[in-house]
A and B are shown apart, each in its own frame.
Chain A
Amino acid sequence: MSAALAAAELACAAGIRTLFTGVGFELKAGRWLQLTGPNGTGKTTLLRALAGLVRPTAGEVHWNGEPRRVGDPHWHAACLFQGHAAGWKDGLSTADNLRLQRELDNHLGDARERELLARAGLARQARLPFGRLSAGQRRRLSLARLAGARQRLWLLDEPTTALDTAGQQLFGELLDSHLANGGLAVVATHQPLPVRERPLELSLADHAPR
Chain B
Amino acid sequence: MQADLPPMSASSALVWACRRDLYLAARSRAELAVVRLFFLLDASLFPLSVSPDPTLLRAIAPGIAWVAALLATLLGLPRLFAADWADGTLEQILLAPAPLPALIAGKVLAHWLVTGLPLLLLAPLAGLQFGLAADAIGILVASLALGTPILSWLGATTAALTLGARGGASLLALLVLPLAVPVLIFGAGAVESFAAGIGAEAHLSLLGAGLILVWVFGPFAAALAVRIAHE
Contacts and interface: CB of A to CB of B under 8 A. Distances in A.
- Interface majority SS on A: helix, strand, loop or mixed? loop
A135 interface: no
Interface string A99-117: 0110111110000000000
Given A54-B231, A106-B97, A152 B1 contact: yes
A43 B4 CA distance: 27
A87 B92 contact: yes
A82 B34 CA distance: 35
Contacts of B100: 71
Contact of B91 (A83, A89, A105, A106): A83
B91 A53 contact: yes
Interface in B9-50: 16, 20, 23-24, 27-28
Interface in A103-146: 103-107
Contacts of A79: 95
Contacts of B24: 89, 91-92
B72 to A, nearest CB: 23
Contacts of A84: 88
A105 B5 contact: yes
B6 interface: yes
A86 B4 contact: no
B5 A106 contact: yes
A105 B88 contact: no
Contacts, number: 95
Interface string B90-112: 01111111111000000000000
B7 interface: yes
Interface string A58-92: 00000000000011011011110101111111111
A103 B19 CA distance: 11
A79 B91 CA distance: 13
Nearest to A53: B230
B98 A73 contact: yes
Interface residues of B, number: 30
Contact of A92 (B2, B16, B27, B231): B27
Given A52-B95, A73-B97, A87 B87 contact: yes
Nearest to A86: B88
A91 B1 contact: no
Contacts of B5: 77, 105-107, 150-151
B175 interface: no
Contact of B4 (A53, A55, A77, A90): A77
Contacts of A86: 87-88
B89 interface: yes
A183 interface: yes
B87 A90 contact: yes
Interface of A: 29, 51-55, 70-71, 73-74, 76-79, 81, 83-92, 96, 100-101, 103-107, 150-152, 181-183
Interface of B: 1-2, 4-8, 16, 20, 23-24, 27-28, 86-89, 91-100, 227, 230-231
Given A73-B98, A76-B98, A104-B98, 7 more contacts: A70-B227, A73-B8, A74-B4, A83-B91, A92-B24, A104-B8, A104-B93
